[in-house]
Amino acid sequence: MDLTRRLFQLYWSSRRLIAPRLRFSQELYEELLKLYVKPDMTWLDLGCGRRLLPSWRSEEEPRLVGACRMIVGLDYDLPSLNDHRTISRKVRGSISELPFRPCSFDLVTANMVVEHLEDPDTQFQEVNRILRPGGLFIFHTPNALGYLTIMNKLTPEKLKAGLIYLLEGRKESDIFETHYKANSRKKIDELARATGFEVVKIKMLATDAAFALVPPLAIPELIGIRLLMTAPLKPFRTNIIAVSRKVA
């Protein structure tokens, strides 16, 4: 633990020097949720997994959940669903066939889920079906043109589990197949028009270095991230947060 702490300290010192304006994309996603979640809302979190926010935001998660009238978590992976402690109303189900009546929710969210969708046309239509007119669909997902996504696609399958555990601490049971079929600004616009949504905003974001605990790699990665934060390289930033509204 002492070595890990020292590596983090070294990374944060380097980050403050190289990319002082950089913010973690999960932090920005949380801020956006706080902006849109209202007390009278019914909210569905798709692919809710084990938590709504990252583990280090566990204290804030109950406050966010309590900010709406009702929240439901949906996931197909039963072990993950059973391990979720913040959302009390949980449903095992598929995004392709959501087990809810039409116009049941005011807000649907998905945090690092859209990249796993194999048939986003059908799945976006399902989200539209269960939203009330004017309801919002907010999701946070990797950018298909980002270097982390490209690196993930190029990594041999037999090496992925070990690499993800090393960099993110996720076990193999928490790693799911990715397709990246709705992971660019152009594709999100196309899907929105085809499935009854209008795009409210799309944010292209740079996020923290994947190699934060590997100093020889973290420094050049931070330099690359600093370049991504410039306007010309905006399309190649690593993450996307999209907000779409169901057309009445």
Instruction: Give the angle 87-93-96 at the CA atoms, nearest 5°.
Output: 125
Please say if the pLDDT value at position 113 is more than 90. yes
DSSP assignment string, 50-89: T-SS-GGGTTTHHHHHTTSSEEEEEES-HHHHHH--S-SE
Please say if the pLDDT value at position 146 is more than 80. yes
Average pLDDT, the chain: 92
pLDDT tens, residue by residue, 85-109: 999 999 999 999 999 999 999 999 9
Q: What are phi and psi of 241, to 5 degrees?
A: -120, 125
Between β-strands 105-111 and 131-142, what pairing exists: parallel, antiparallel or unpaired? parallel
Between β-strands 239-246 and 131-142, what pairing exists: parallel, antiparallel or unpaired? antiparallel
Cα distance between the two ends of the chain: 53
CATH code of the domain containing 32: 3.40.50.150
Measured between alpha carbons, how far is 91 from 109 in angstroms, rounded to an integer? Answer: 15
What the block records as the tokens of 89 is 């109303």
pLDDT band at residue 214 under the 50/70/90 scheme:
confident
Q: In the sheet that 42-46 helps form, which strands lie side by side, from edge to edge?
A: 89-92, 70-75, 42-46, 105-111, 131-142, 239-246, 197-205
Give Cβ neighbours of residue 216 (< 8 Å, ≥ 6 apart). Answer: none
Measured between alpha carbons, how far is 229 from 239 in angstroms, rounded to an integer? Answer: 12
Domain assignment of residue 153, given as a range = 2-246
Least confident segment among 116-125, 190-199, 205-214 = 205-214
- The model's pTM is 0.92
Q: How many domains does the chain have?
A: 1
Please say if the pLDDT value at position 188 is more than 90. yes
